Structure 1
Amino acid sequence: MNDTFDLDVVVRSLGYVLVDGLGFTLALTLTATVGGIALGIVLALMRQSSRFYISKPAQLYIDVARALPLILVIFWIYFLLPYVAQWVIGSARPVAVGARTSAFVTFTLFEAAYFAEIIRSGLRGIRKGQMDAGYSLGLNYWQVMGSITLPQAMRNMLPVLATQMIIMFQDSSLVYVLSLTDLLGAASKVAQRDGRLVEMYLFATLVYFLISFVASQLVQKLHMRVATPR
């Protein structure tokens, strides 16, 4: 390591760290958020079902996912996904999936469990009378959920969903273990190459902090807006 503090290495690597590294981190966060919420809605509705053969599998999925460390899930899916793909398509050998695809699949499946519980909490907060009113209008269960209950629950849960998204953004640094070029991975590669660990890790920390802080402030404003009676 060098004894002097040199910010020039940060300036020289801005394009690589922010475009390649941060770009991948944001893409992973946004994709896993959309996919996780979509799957989370399905899981939450399954948990709401009165039929045990529908609610129990969803509950098992959520409990198992929430009980495991994310880094362990990253490794398991990375190593098992090629064999799962081989079984699905009937290939003669494991399918080369790749670290990037594994990361997207892992975060989507893992975060879906947390989004499901957030959405389920929102659904339980909607008064039962509104569902009864929908039934009285001739709507079935799915129409009531899609038109009345779920939109209200999603609106009420927006701040919590956004907070979980911020947590996911921070947790995305764990894909570094797969040698992917996320924000932390890009900063680490430059740090190792130029022997500037302090400067690059400090810069990565600053970027994580600024994005998370700004996003947190926006979530607070969103929470105040959602909480305001209409």
Structure 2
Amino acid sequence: MGDFDLSFFTWEMLSKFVLKGFIFSLELTAIATVGGIIFGTILALMRLSGKKFLMVPATIYVNGMRSIPLVMVILWFFLLVPSSFYALFGSTGVDYRSEISAIITFIAFEAAYFSEIMRAGIQSIPRGQVHAGQALGMTYSQNMKLVVLPQAFRNMLPVLLTQTIILFQDTSLVYAIGAYDLLKGFSTAGKIYGRPEEAYLLAAVVYFILCYLLSYSVKKLQAKIAIIR
């Protein structure tokens, strides 16, 4: 520890190496959250539909994804999907194979977790409200769109945001396929400046500060929602 030195930690280092990775981590988190919620809501509705041909594949998908480590899914998709798939995105797809692979993988993986959150949120709505919608002549889709889902999203908002924070932490796993995320930015800076230990320590501090502030904000939001109720 006598050789410990943080003098390389400057704005120049941050802007040159870390900022690019931080932006991609935020983009990946935002895209995976939106895509995961949309896909996860569809999976939740399939599991609650009462129709076996919809319930069975959705259940297999959700349980399968939740039983496999994320890093394995990331590696499988990156290594097993042929290059011709990325060529569909044009020259950009070939140049940014790691980033595109990470986005698709995170949406597919997080959808399984958001599905369970949405399923719990939908089931938390009193059945009396569903029956009231049916009495007014609403179809199943209208009932879900106008009565159930808006309340379910409100009830599950703190949990959805908490899962998003976990997702942000998990973005560091794309380092395994060479995608340039926040951790990759610190790692690159550490190698160039010859300070890998300090770089990884700073990365941990940045992740801690960001996730702690976000978690605190979610806790305040949860308390506010509880008061409104």
TM score, norm. by length of structure 1? 0.91
Distance in 1, matches of 2:45 and 2:134, equals 17
Q: Which runs of 5+ in 2 are unaligned?
A: none
CA distances 1:32-56 after superposition (whole Å, capped 9, x unpaired): 0000001011000001011100011
Query: How far has the Cα of 1:225 moved from its partner?
Result: 1.6
Q: Report 1:25-174 matches (<5 A).
A: 25-82=25-82, 85=85, 96=94, 98-174=97-173
CA distances 1:99-122 after superposition (whole Å, capped 9, x unpaired): 110000011100000000000001
Q: How many pairs are equivalent?
A: 222
TM score, norm. by length of structure 2? 0.92
**Secondary structure of 1:10's match?**
coil
Query: How far has the Cα of 1:4 moved from its partner?
Result: 2.6
Distance in 2, matches of 1:211 and 1:85, equals 35
1:92 alignment counterpart: none
Distance in 2, matches of 1:17 and 1:209, equals 19
Let me know the Cα RMSD of the aligned residues.
1.8
Distance in 2, matches of 1:132 and 1:174, equals 45
Deviates more, 1:168-177 or 1:17-26: 17-26
Distance in 2, matches of 1:84 and 1:150, equals 39
Q: Is it true that 1:23 corresponds to 2:23 in the alignment? A: yes
Deviates more, 1:191-200 or 1:167-176: 191-200
Query: How far has the Cα of 1:222 moved from its partner?
Result: 1.1
Residues 83, 190 of structure 1: alpha-carbon distance in 2 compared, 3 angstrom cutoff: closer
Q: Which amino acid aligns with 1:53?
A: F
CA distances 1:113-137 after superposition (whole Å, capped 9, x unpaired): 0000000001011111101100111
2:210 alignment counterpart: 211
Distance in 2, matches of 1:98 and 1:33, equals 20
Q: Which amino acid aligns with 2:78?
A: Y
Residues 34, 82 of structure 1: alpha-carbon distance in 2 compared, 3 angstrom cutoff: same
CA distances 1:119-158 after superposition (whole Å, capped 9, x unpaired): 0001011111101100111110000000000110110000
Q: Report 1:174-213 matches (<5 A).
A: 174-213=173-212
CA distances 1:159-205 after superposition (whole Å, capped 9, x unpaired): 00000001011111000011121111111111122220122111111
Q: Which runs of 5+ in 1 are unaligned?
A: 90-94
Identity fraction in percent: 44
Query: How far has the Cα of 1:80 moved from its partner?
Result: 2.7
